[in-house]
């Protein structure tokens, strides 16, 4: 059964490019991004892992740990990392899970038989400090992921987790947000002292409360 939003992300132990890890211990009460790759030494994956490494400080600012996964071996991962560092001008130092027995891939439903019977699709899971799944994305093997979108979603998730707001289409950190419908209009000034604009009774916007 596939994981759905709000489900608890299963724990696992795995060999990785930085040694053996326990998933729950590794994320240590913070946010996490777990994402899979069809296989090592593939061109699109090389650019994705390189981009992740280049954005290390952005993930750290968001208290977010990153883990990648492929069904290849640790030895393959270590050789591939050298290529990634060379071609993408970066340093990959986050763990790449060696899932040769496909235990984690099956646990997280990363293999879609109609796409490939053996390789993982480009799955993305954003997991919160409560270990619950906050976001899932699935890309085909031919399409590289947009990591700025992943960071944008983490910004939204962390903001909306703390305040009674939602984020509109194409929202970026620092822009106005939507007051959730559960907040009565007369209660908005007390909760959002920066003010608000009522576009429709069900659509009220306010400046981002933590900026």
Q: Is the pLDDT of residue 115 over 80?
A: no
Least confident of 113-117, 141-145, 150-154: 113-117
Which residues does the annotation mark as catalytic? Answer: 45
How many whole angstroms separate alpha carbon 1 and alpha carbon 4?
Answer: 9
Q: What's the rounded mean pLDDT across residues 176-196?
A: 96
In whole numbers, what is the pLDDT of the chain averaged over residues? 93
Q: What's the rounded mean pLDDT across residues 126-137?
A: 97
pLDDT band for position 57 (cuts 50, 70, 90): very high
Task: Please answer whether residues 26 and 65 qualify as being in contact, where contact means their C-beta atoms are separated by less than 8 angstroms.
Answer: yes
pLDDT band for position 141 (cuts 50, 70, 90): confident
Q: What's the rounded mean pLDDT across residues 24-51?
A: 94
Per residue, the 3-state secondary structure of the chain, as one string, reads CCCCCCCECCCCEEEECCEEEEHHHHHCCCEEEEEECCCCCCHHHHHHHHHHHHCHHHHHHCCEEEEEEECCCHHHHHHHHHHHHHHHCCCCCCCEEECCCCHHHHHCCCCCCCCCCCCCCEEEEEECCCCEEEEEEEECCCCCCCHHHHHHHHHHHHHHHHCCEECCCCCCCCCCEEECCCCCHHHHHHHCCCCCEEEECCEEEECCCCC
How many whole angstroms separate alpha carbon 202 and alpha carbon 127?
Answer: 30
Query: How high is the pLDDT of residue 117?
Result: 45
Task: Please answer whether residues 120 and 69 qualify as being in contact, where contact means their C-beta atoms are separated by less than 8 angstroms.
Answer: yes
**List of domains in the chain:** 13-145 (3.40.30.10), 163-206 (3.30.1020.10)
The pTM of this model reads: 0.92
């Amino acid at each position: 059964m596939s994981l759905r939003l709000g489900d608890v992300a299963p724990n696992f132990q795995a060999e990785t490019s930085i040694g053996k890890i326990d998933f729950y211990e590794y994320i240590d009460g913070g946010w996490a991004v777990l994402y899979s790759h069809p296989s090592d030494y593939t061109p699109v994956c090389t650019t994705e892992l390189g981009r992740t490494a280049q954005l290390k400080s952005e993930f750290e600012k968001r208290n977010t740990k990153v883990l990648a996964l492929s069904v290849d071996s640790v030895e393959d991962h270590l050789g591939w990392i050298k290529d990634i560092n060379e071609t993408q001008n970066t340093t990959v130092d986050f763990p790449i899970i060696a899932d040769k027995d496909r235990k984690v891939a099956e646990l997280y439903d990363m293999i879609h038989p109609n796409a490939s019977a053996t390789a993982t699709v480009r799955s993305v899971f954003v997991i919160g400090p409560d270990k619950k799944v906050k976001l899932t994305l699935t890309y085909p093997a031919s399409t590289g992921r947009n990591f700025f979108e992943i960071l944008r979603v983490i910004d939204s998730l962390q903001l909306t987790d703390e305040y009674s707001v939602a984020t509109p289409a194409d929202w970026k950190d620092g822009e106005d947000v939507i007051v959730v419908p559960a907040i009565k209009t007369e209660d908005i000034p007390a909760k959002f002292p920066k003010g608000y604009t009522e576009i429709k009774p069900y659509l009220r916007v306010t400046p981002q409360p933590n900026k």
